[in-house]
């Protein structure tokens, strides 16, 4: 049972564009929603995270939008750069329980 569904699987955007990656979850008890960024040959690194008591969180060029009623959250990257090319994973957890990861999105930013 896939509890977190991520889309699209891959995404190509021109430099300066705004890639959007979406995730949908099933378990309404989830209360922590992080995004991880992974470069080739590296482990994933926490990028940004949100709790369900807010609808949006910004950190630099990265924004999470959260829609509790729709059970969806998304990552937006403003003014995208070639250096943002990576695989992005959304995840969710309930309290301190183990994370459930999405399937990943391979993002390419063309110069």
Partner 1 sequence: EADIYQTPRYLVIGTGKKITLECSQTMGHDKMYWYQQDPGMELHLIHYSYGVNSTEKGDLSSESTVSRIRTEHFPLTLESARPSHTSQYLCASGQAGGSYNEQFFGPGTRLTVL
Residues that bind partner 1 (CB under 8 A): 31-32, 34, 36, 38, 40-46, 49, 87, 89, 93, 95-99, 101-104, 106
- Distance in Å, CB of 101 to partner 1, minimum: 5
C-alpha span between 10 and 18 (Å, rounded): 14
- Distance in Å, CB of 79 to partner 1, minimum: 24
- Distance in Å, CB of 32 to partner 1, minimum: 5
Please identify, using beta-carbon distances, which residue of 78 and 108 lies nearer to partner 1: 108
DSSP secondary structure, 7-41, as one string: E-SEEEEETT---EEEEEE--TT--BEEEEEE-TT
CA 90 to chain centre: 4
């Amino acid at each position: 049972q896939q509890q977190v569904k991520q889309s699209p699987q891959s995404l190509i955007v021109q430099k300066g564009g705004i890639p959007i990656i979406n995730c949908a979850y099933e378990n309404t008890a989830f209360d922590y929603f992080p995004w991880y960024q992974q470069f080739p040959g590296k482990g994933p690194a926490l990028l940004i995270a949100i709790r369900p008591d807010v609808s949006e969180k910004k950190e630099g060029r990265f924004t999470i939008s959260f829609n509790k009623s729709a059970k969806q959250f998304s990552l937006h990257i403003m003014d995208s750069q070639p250096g943002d090319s990576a695989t992005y994973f959304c995840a969710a957890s309930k309290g301190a329980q183990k994370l459930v990861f999405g399937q990943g999105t391979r993002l390419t930013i063309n110069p």
